[in-house]
A and B are shown apart, each in its own frame.
Chain A
Amino acid sequence: MTKGYLGIDIGSISTKGVIIDAQNNILASTYLWTKGNPIQAVKEVLKDLQKQTKNQDIKIVSVGTTGSARKLIGTILKATIIKNEITAHAVGTLSRYPDVRTIIEIGGQDSKIILIRDGIVTDYAMNTLCAAGTGAFLSSQAKRLDVEVEDFGKIALTSKNPALIAARCTVFAESDLVHKAQIGYKKEDIIAGLCRSVALNYLNNVGKGKKILDPIIFQGGVSKNIGVVKAFEDILKTNVTTDEDGHLMGALGVAILAKKEKEINFSFDIMEGQFETSSINCGSCPNNCEIICVKEGNKLIDAWGNRCDRGKSNIKIEQKE
């Protein structure tokens, strides 16, 4: 029997799961869309991982969760560790590229930069109020141009003369793109221009003022777009590495972190039950905190969101109902 460690990364757009062994080798991995329902997505991830490992004698002894739904899923799975995505990504990437000094990550709705020096994270930045230049932006523009977003990169590479597209804001970029199309730019030039504007936007927003040093690893869904990779290489005038498992780094990282925790008994059936979330408004004071309750059948397993203790009594009332 080998000991396995499960890491799940529940992002806004996609959900990723890996099982690793004690040497950090990936034994099974899965990647699917969250579709706005993290609980269902994780159920499917578990089902898929179980299927993949059916013939191997693996016992899961620790579970970690990361990503924006880490707390919700961590609670349901009784995870041994719940970690933010930045630490998880850094740990995952460092396990493969111990020399990395810059991680560029562009996901569905957020983008971040992680700076690493001598194997430890020294600084990071995340997009603040604006999601311009992330995966969601690219896929909406692909729809507008009637191109599959998966083909974006390939098409971009055929362009000899990328169009200049205003990069600072999705709204401006969008109107600029329409304008460029109307005055007769070729589609591939516009697409190459878009890829370039994603890279520029990233470097001017998230990467501003940060020292981007070699080796650079590019991750997240957008890293699958070869056009953006090339745009980064052109602008930074250096190599940008992508990993075929780049999308799994968060899940891998949190699985590695889970190894350090104490072992538990984990069964793939844990999500068999009916899990439900509901929200109630506390109402005890003008803040009117929204409290999220997670229930398994009729049993309340956890609740959060209240700023003070007054919310607890309301949760009890909710539980009785």
Chain B
Amino acid sequence: MNHKIVGIPRALLYYYDKDLWIEFIKKLGHTPKISSFSNKKHLEEGQKLANDESCLSLKLFLGHINELKDECDMILVPRLFSIKKKEQVCTNFNCLYDLVNNLFDINIINYNIDLTEKESKLMAFLKLGEILGASYIKSYKAYKYAEKISLMKRKKLEQEQAEKLSTSKIKILLAGHPYNLYDELIGKPVCKFLSENEITILYSDRIDHTKIDEECKKLSTDIHWTHSKEVMASINYYQDKVDGIILLSSFPCGPDSLSNELISHKIKECPLITLIFEDLNSEVGVITRLESFIDILKTKKEKIYGKNN
């Protein structure tokens, strides 16, 4: 079996499935190579490559592929259509494989998940294993192992998040797609600013996953984007447990344009701001908005609990 270096762009789906990918690839005896944290160069390259109506996150993704293209034997770019029954994912994930295939002359490894065609995640990984030269049995074992680790890590994050709720500090729910929340150019500056101001941050993707369907239903019965459901559920679940909510979006995001609107109409009691990131964003505007938001939460808390608490 040939040892391969498998490139993984640190963008989009990476933030959902990174542990699964990394453990699976390692278990089959190959080396995963993850691109570096997002920086301006990724953005610049991505802008050049992308269609001008692509969202910021997709532009960054293309930048990451560009970084990896000469450094590995193959790059993992999955195609997702439906990963949960009767639900869909953003069209970007539908076309990602074809998009990259058209733009770059590279070796792509791909898997396909589409429940409407009965193509499950397990089957996708078995095929992925086949491309990497492993037998079905070996791939099956590797997948189960990777799934276990990824679940364990998830549980730990969920638990840590649940523990954060008991703090007496100001708590803010940072809600949005994980590829925005944890991106070095998008969510990181926000997190950094909040932490510097001694604010406890909760992340929408770290909600207890068993709660998603039930909580989401309370806000909307028929949002059918799997990834938006997670955001909506966390907002409904945390709205009476945090002091404020920050909705983080990249521009222009199709699913968010609908779900953010819905959220801002339904959430009445909890202070909420929306931060939209695009390529030309200046950090100054974001900081002004954050500063004022924190001021609001602080004075509110002082008013309720008295100044010295």
Q: Which residues in A have some Cβ–Cβ distance to B below 8 Å?
A: 68, 83-87, 118, 120-126, 128-129, 208-209, 211, 285-288, 307
B295 in contact with A120 (CB, 8 Å): no
B292 in contact with A288 (CB, 8 Å): no
**Leading 4 A-B pairs by shortest Cβ distance:** A86-B292, A286-B41, A286-B39, A84-B291
Known contacts A86-B292, A128-B276; is-contact A121 B299 (Cβ 8 Å): yes
| CB closest chain-B residue, reference A119 | B303
B295 in contact with A86 (CB, 8 Å): yes
Choose, from B166-174, B230-238, B263-271, the stretch at the interface.
Answer: B263-271
B295 in contact with A84 (CB, 8 Å): yes
A87 in contact with B295 (CB, 8 Å): yes
Question: 18 A-B contacts, Cβ less than 8 Å apart?
Answer: A68-B284, A84-B291, A84-B292, A85-B288, A85-B292, A87-B291, A120-B299, A120-B303, A122-B296, A123-B271, A124-B293, A126-B288, A128-B274, A208-B261, A208-B264, A285-B39, A286-B41, A287-B41
Cross-interface CB contact of A209 among B264, B296, B299, cutoff 8 Å: B264
CA distance A86 to B271 in the complex (A): 15
B289 at the interface (CB under 8 A from A): yes
B272 at the interface (CB under 8 A from A): yes
- Residues in A whose Cβ lies below 8 Å from that of B291: 84, 87
Known contacts A120-B303, A121-B296; is-contact A288 B288 (Cβ 8 Å): no
A120 in contact with B300 (CB, 8 Å): yes
How far apart are A94's CB and chain B's nearest CB, in angstroms?
11
Known contacts A120-B303, A129-B278; is-contact A209 B265 (Cβ 8 Å): yes
CA distance A307 to B274 in the complex (A): 23
Cross-interface CB contact of B295 among A121, A128, A286, cutoff 8 Å: A121
- Residues in B whose Cβ lies below 8 Å from that of A87: 291-292, 295-296
B251 at the interface (CB under 8 A from A): yes
- Residues in B whose Cβ lies below 8 Å from that of A118: 303
- Residues in A whose Cβ lies below 8 Å from that of B278: 129
CA distance A209 to B271 in the complex (A): 12
B148 at the interface (CB under 8 A from A): no
CA distance A120 to B278 in the complex (A): 32
